[in-house]
Amino acid sequence: MPDWEGVRLHVVSGKGGTGKTTVAAALAMALAAEGKRTLLIEVEERQGIAELFGISALPYEERKVASVGPGALGRSMSKQGAREGEVFALAIDIEQALLEYLEMFYKLGRAGKALRKVGFIDFATTIAPGLRDVLLTGKACEAVRRKGPDGRRVYDAVVMDAPPTGRVSRFLNINTEVAGLARFGPIFTQSQAVMRVIQSPETAVHLVTLLEEMPVQETVDGVAELRAAGLPVGGVFVTMVRPPMLDEAAVLAADGDDHREELGLLLAEAGVGARPGSRARKTVPAATRKLVEPLLEQGREHAARVLLEREQRTDVLALDLPTYELPLLSGGVDLSGLYRLAAVLKEEGAA
């Protein structure tokens, strides 16, 4: 069973540069397996989703960006009779969202569009940041609750690529912001409806990190802030995990004895830098010696990173939250890379 059975709104946050948009996209694809339909929402107007999927800039409408066929995420998913899953995406435009809101609650119609021309929308969202957050989170919560003509939910899950860790608690805890903006009326009612979804068991706020000191510390602080605000904490997604290249003995010995002569002989025996016919000698050719120091230096750097990542992983595990590790993709992340990461998330139980 997946770890988040029953969760329908997945909010993904993380320190800038940790790959939160990539994780959000991969999670949406993993959740779409087995014929399900997911919606991936971007709220920061960066068009990061469009870049990931290699498509033109997303308009303010829900658009299909990927299909997840049976077997697309590995053999375990190729169940007989399984349907194709679908991933839709939406990049929220704050002006369009406000116009939609004004039409829905105040029936302004053309008057609402006129407000854009005089700069009212920028003015309103600048002096009342809580209104902006209500609009952004409200759109996601509306998608979670939306039903089709048959009475079934339109989306099985909604994944939000949210603001960075330092802002996510304030972004989601809109009651605090709206309290100074309105104590009754449509805005207040809307904020209450949004908070009922965000604070429910149907929502989980996931944090993304690298195994580095600053991102891990920000994740630890972020978890504490979410808990203090009464927001539902989800899992921790560790990205860009490098495969181990040295065994335990090699890591521990990296800063120990001088291995120059030993490594040189091994390289010479393997024919690296040595002339043909010289392998049987018990001396290290000069050409081979030139390779020894750079290789040892790379080994020391790798060993130091392994030890650092080990310390940071201990801090992550101490949070006692479901944790998932995604590998570093050497060629960067494209659509095929997203499928690969989604398969890892599926295998690890995140979806």
The residue type of 221 is: D
Whether this prediction's pTM lies above 0.75 is answered by yes
Do 2 and 232 meet the contact criterion of CB atoms below 8 Å apart? no
Q: How many CB atoms lie within 10 A of CB 128?
A: 17
Q: Which helix (H) or strand (E) holds 239?
A: strand 233-241
Q: How many CB atoms lie within 10 A of CB 115?
A: 17
**Tokens at 51, concatenated:** 């870049």
Q: What are the 10-residue block averages of pLDDT along the chain, 351 residues in total?
A: 92 96 97 94 92 92 93 65 88 83 62 55 58 85 94 96 94 72 68 89 97 96 96 97 72 62 72 57 69 75 80 96 95 90 95 92
Collapsing DSSP to helix, strand or coil, 255 comes out as coil
CA 40-41-43 angle, to 5 degrees, is 155
Taking the domains of the chain in order of start, what are their residue ranges?
A: 9-242+328-348, 248-306
pLDDT for 280: 47
pLDDT for 79: 58
CA distances to 15, 100, 311, 331 from 238, in Å: 12, 37, 14, 18
pLDDT for 16: 92
Task: Kindly indicate whether the domain formed by 9-242+328-348 is annotated with CATH number 3.40.50.11540.
Answer: no
Give buried/exposed letters for 236-253 (b at 16+ CB in 10 A, else e). Answer: bbbbbbeeeeeeeeebee
Give buried/exposed letters for 266-278 (b at 16+ CB in 10 A, else e). Answer: ebbbeeebbeeeb
The helix-helix angle for 213-228 and 165-172 (nearest 10°) equals 10
Indicate the burial class of 188 (C-beta count within 10 angstroms; 0-12, 13-18, 19 or more): middle
